[in-house]
Amino acid sequence: MRKASLMERVQARAPAYWPLMREQPLWAVMFAFSRINAARGLERLISSAGHKKPENVNHTAFPELDLQRAVSSLIEDGVYQGLRLPEPVIEEIAAFAEVNPCFTKKEPKKGFLPRNYRDANKEREADILAAFYFETVERCPAVMKLRRDEALKSIASAYLGQRAILIRTRLWWSFPAERISEGDLHMAAQNCYHFDIDGWRTLKFFFYLTPANEGAGPHQYIRGSHRRRRLQDQFSLTTGRPTPQLERFYSRKEFLTITGEKGLGFAEDPFVFHTGTVCRDQPRLMLEIGFGVSAANPAYQKPDFIYGRLG
């Protein structure tokens, strides 16, 4: 599999960024400078957005959650793994996903039921790595309730340093795949460590709705990499990095894989180096609820928008 050159990757992905700049002209400034640690610190200073103490909550699906421990872990490690969904919530979201069609980013109007993904593969030149529910996720009451959960908002607001705003909700399947290319992996954010640039300050909550063992595409990240960054990784056009390069800077004990039963959840600063992994044995259903400090770019909300990383 030939590896695309930097220029080829830039040329292929550049058109995806025009809608973002058109909707929010200052997006380009954020995109250029938010990858630099000093600039991120300066933005927090100007915004008076230091980390805060989380507010107490009354109504939440996570009554036993230690909010301060979650915030402290995010500050130090960039990830907190102590979330768990109640069984009724898991069952409701999983039931919704089973009976509603999901869609690929390349064909956002050609849906299929997740149990039929092998048949859907037969109609395509490449196997499906990921399929999403796009705006239909808002038809699931359990997801809508989680988006308003007081504990999640309290953690996000304390970590981001000001009132957290919901910017994205995604529910998607990852499927076992063999006929795939490097470009497919990059588009699905799998098997390539990278960081996300959705805003100056963002925080995402992820929940496994199916078991995520080693063969079911577990999430991986590099602990503390949101704080410690090589200069060449900050002053670069790309957000993805080959694993061997990262292994020369970060110790092996900082490379972590999040496995667990259905219902396991974690919070992550997406500036941490992270990656999804390709499912080998069974599909994986995952929910993401993302918060930021300003309204999401409208271009992100379009079902057919493909956010191609320059990595």
159-190: pLDDT as tens digits: 999 999 999 999 999 999 888 777 677 666 77
Q: Choose the weakest-confidence range: 4-13, 137-146, 210-219.
A: 4-13
1 within domain boundaries:
no
264 within domain boundaries:
yes
- State the average pLDDT over residues 126-152: 95
Q: According to the model, what pLDDT value does residue 233 have? A: 94
Do residues 40 and 233 make contact, with C-beta atoms less than 8 angstroms apart? no
State the residue range of the domain holding 113.
6-301
309 within domain boundaries:
no
Q: b/e per residue, 194-229, with b = 16+ CB within 10 A?
A: bbbbbbbbbbbbbbbbbbbeebbbbbbbbbbbbeeb
Residue type for position 167: I
Do residues 5 and 12 make contact, with C-beta atoms less than 8 angstroms apart? no
Torsion-angle region of residue 194: left (phi > 0), alpha (psi -120 to 50) or beta?
Answer: beta
* Percentage of the chain modeled with pLDDT above 70: 86
Q: According to the model, what pLDDT value does residue 237 have? A: 81
191-239: pLDDT as tens digits: 889 999 889 999 999 999 999 998 899 999 999 999 999 999 999 888 8
308 within domain boundaries:
no
CATH number, position 67: 2.60.120.620
Residue 302 has pLDDT above 70, yes or no: no
Kindly indicate the confidence band of residue 297, based on its pLDDT and cuts at 50, 70 and 90.
Answer: low
Q: What is the dihedral of CA 33, 239, 193, 165, to 10 degrees?
A: 50
Count of domains in the chain? 1
229 within domain boundaries:
yes
Question: What are the C-alpha distances in Å from 13 to residues 114, 122, 244?
Answer: 28, 27, 24
Kindly indicate the confidence band of residue 24, based on its pLDDT and cuts at 50, 70 and 90.
Answer: confident
Residue 147 has pLDDT above 80, yes or no: yes
Residue 300 has pLDDT above 90, yes or no: no
107 within domain boundaries:
yes
pTM above 0.85, yes or no: yes
112 within domain boundaries:
yes
Residue 10 has pLDDT above 90, yes or no: no
Residue 79 has pLDDT above 50, yes or no: yes
Kindly indicate the confidence band of residue 308, based on its pLDDT and cuts at 50, 70 and 90.
Answer: very low
Q: Choose the weakest-confidence range: 75-84, 128-137, 189-198.
A: 189-198
Instruction: State the average pLDDT for the chain.
Output: 88
Neighbours of 124 (CB within 10 A): 13
Q: According to the model, what pLDDT value does residue 60 have? A: 97
Q: Choose the weakest-confidence range: 151-165, 182-196, 291-305.
A: 291-305
Q: In the chain, how long is the greatest CA-to-CA distance?
A: 54
Torsion-angle region of residue 218: left (phi > 0), alpha (psi -120 to 50) or beta?
Answer: beta
Q: Choose the weakest-confidence range: 161-170, 200-209, 252-261, 302-311.
A: 302-311
Residue 83 has pLDDT above 60, yes or no: yes
142 within domain boundaries:
yes
Q: According to the model, what pLDDT value does residue 1 have? A: 43
Residue 309 has pLDDT above 50, yes or no: no
Kindly indicate the confidence band of residue 106, based on its pLDDT and cuts at 50, 70 and 90.
Answer: confident
